[in-house]
Amino acid sequence: MEDTIVSQATPTGFSAISLIRISGDKALTFSRKLSNKKTNLKHLKPTKLAIHVNNKKIDEVVFTAFYAPKSYTGEDVVEVSCHGNPNISESIINEIISFGGRLAHPGEYTKRAFLNGKLDLLQAESVGLLIKSKSIDAAERQTKNLLGGITKKINKVKSRLLFCLSTLEFEFDVSEEEYLTNETVEKIKKALKSCETETSRLKESFIKGHAYTKGLKISVIGKPNVGKSTLVNKLININKSITSDIPGTTRDLIITETTLDGIPVTLIDTAGIHNTKDKIEKEGIKRSLREIKNSDIIISVFTNTDQPVDIKGFKKQILVYNKEDLQPYKGTKKTVVSVSAKKESGLDALKQNIKEKISFLKTNTNESLITTIRQKEAVDSLNLHITQSLNHFTNKPMALEIIAFEIRTAISKIDLFTGKTTTNDILKKVFSDFCVGK
């Protein structure tokens, strides 16, 4: 038997209300004990009850019971809404534990929901991401995923592949004609090609999807004392990095998370890059260089007196000339953005520039994106097998059974996303779509 688990569903700290969730066989029994109620709570009927701990009334709360299997986890679930005081929620949780419950592990509710067949794998993943997603835009996208946005797209590909496969299987298993007609071959090829295009598109959407969930990394680099930290602070309007006139004030990476145009962004303020004998600074520079490699965008800051740090081969780079208040930019490079972080001039132009650089991520909200590595791998190999099946059409003699094998493999990759396809599904299609001979 599974343990009955408990945890606070809302963030810790003071708030208007807190929600505590109990899930498992004993959820109802525990709630009865907690409230001194003689009978079980009714399904989906919020009930206001007082809670006593050590004979002392600590709060009046609302209990809502969800009977198995009609609950999120598929088990009996009780949600307790108490007032948002950490002491109250803590004592409630401790009471439940003293009754024999246990604190839930991270993601355990979702895991149980998955194991009880309440969610498919894709949905379970999306729930995990929803909780963790870094901006509202990303949350919306995840909601869409939850509703099956990707599943729908993938299912469309699957139904086309099933058409191709059932056409071939009809040839192998029913038709006694010697050859496949050219017309049939062309039909299969056309369907496969559209699947190839669709999966290629999905494949590419990972770059976006990944950025939405994990956030884009933007590193601000430059020689010491060109004003990197000041610039970062102004960009996010808080004082996080300590700034001073002394070069090398920022000795380690300072990481700030923010959103730009709804896209989660991680701004990394790096240590100034120069030759130094200071051990700590040296380590900081080493880390800066490593971080630069992993960045999506680099903001390279320079001034009248310090040249930009040359990072070779990095494409998404914004050159920022700082301290224009001391000396205006006189260079000829049109791509250079001239600002004064201190006087807050030119910052809007810089923000605009960054937005342009990340605009490739702006999608219409109807687009479904794949967001996890697992999804990416499945789509990659799906796409690969579709391409391979297409390649076989050029071979002479055409090995139809190999084409069928590749399509079957492709379908099995889709099944990783959405669930099993049985031979019966394939045969069902054969018998409903084709006139069976003898």
Partner 1 sequence: MIKENFDIVVVGGGHAGLEAALISSFLGCKTAIITMDPQAIARMSCNPAIGGLAKGQIVREIDVLGGVMGKVADASGLQFKTLNKKKGRAVWSPRAQIDKRLYEKIALQKVLKSPISIIKGEATSIQIKNYKIRGFKLRSGETIKCSNGIVTAGTFLSGIIHIGERKILAGRMGEERSEGLTESLSSYGFRTGRLKTGTPPRALKNSILWTKTTKSFGDKNPMPFSYSTKAFNPPNDPCHTINTNEETHSIIKKNLNLSPMFSGDIGGIGPRYCPSIEDKVFKFENRPSHLIHLEPEWKNSDQIYINGFSTSLPEEAQVAALKTIPSLKEVELLRPGYAIEYDFFPPSQLKASLETKDVSGLFFAGQMNGTSGYEEAAAQGLICGVNAANKKKHLPALVLSRSSSYIGVMIDDLITKDTLEPYRMFTSRAEHRLLLRYSNTFERLFLCSKKHKLLTKESLQLFKNITSLKTAIEKKLDTSIDKSTLKNKEDISQKTPAKTILKRPSVSIFDILKNTTQKETTIPKWLEKDIMYDVESDIKYEGYINRHLKEIKQIEKNNQLKIPKKTNYKKMRGLSKEAIEKLSLLRPENLGQAMRIAGITPADISVLNIYLIK
Q: Interface with partner 1 by CB under 8 A: which residues?
A: 1-2, 69, 112, 114-117, 121, 169, 171-174, 176, 178-180, 395-397, 399-402, 404-405, 408-409, 419-420, 422-424, 426-427, 430-431, 435-438
Write out the DSSP string of 137-152.
HHHHHHHHHHTTHHHH
| CB nearer to partner 1: pick between 183 and 245 | 183
User: Positive or negative CA dihedral for 402, 406, 407, 409?
Assistant: positive
| CB nearer to partner 1: pick between 131 and 399 | 399
| CB nearer to partner 1: pick between 24 and 308 | 24
| CB nearer to partner 1: pick between 87 and 395 | 395
In sequence order, which residues have a C-beta less than 8 Å from that of residue 392 and are 6 or more positions away?
398, 399, 402, 403, 406
Least distance from C-beta 186 to partner 1, angstroms? Answer: 17
User: Positive or negative CA dihedral for 360, 361, 366, 369?
Assistant: positive
Q: What are phi and psi of 89, to 5 degrees?
A: -65, -35
Least distance from C-beta 353 to partner 1, angstroms? Answer: 48
DSSP secondary structure letter of residue 236? H
Q: Are 354 and 319 in contact (CB under 8 A)?
A: no
| CB nearer to partner 1: pick between 26 and 228 | 26
- Rounded distance, CA 79 to CA 276, Å? 58
Cα three-residue angle 432-435-436, rounded to 5 degrees: 95
| CB nearer to partner 1: pick between 317 and 409 | 409
Least distance from C-beta 351 to partner 1, angstroms? Answer: 47
| CB nearer to partner 1: pick between 298 and 410 | 410
Write out the DSSP string of 110-130.
HHHHHHTTSS-HHHHHHHHHH
In sequence order, which residues have a C-beta less than 8 Å from that of residue 254 and are 6 or more positions away?
229, 232, 240, 241, 268, 269
Least distance from C-beta 115 to partner 1, angstroms? Answer: 4
Which residues in 41-77 are b (16+ Cβ under 10 Å) and which e? Answer: beeeeeeebebeeeeeebbebebbbbbbeebbbbbbb
Chain Cα centroid distance, residue 368: 12
- Rounded distance, CA 205 to CA 297, Å? 19
User: Positive or negative CA dihedral for 25, 28, 29, 31?
Assistant: positive
Least distance from C-beta 129 to partner 1, angstroms? Answer: 19
Least distance from C-beta 193 to partner 1, angstroms? Answer: 21
| CB nearer to partner 1: pick between 164 and 358 | 164
Least distance from C-beta 150 to partner 1, angstroms? Answer: 18
Least distance from C-beta 182 to partner 1, angstroms? Answer: 14
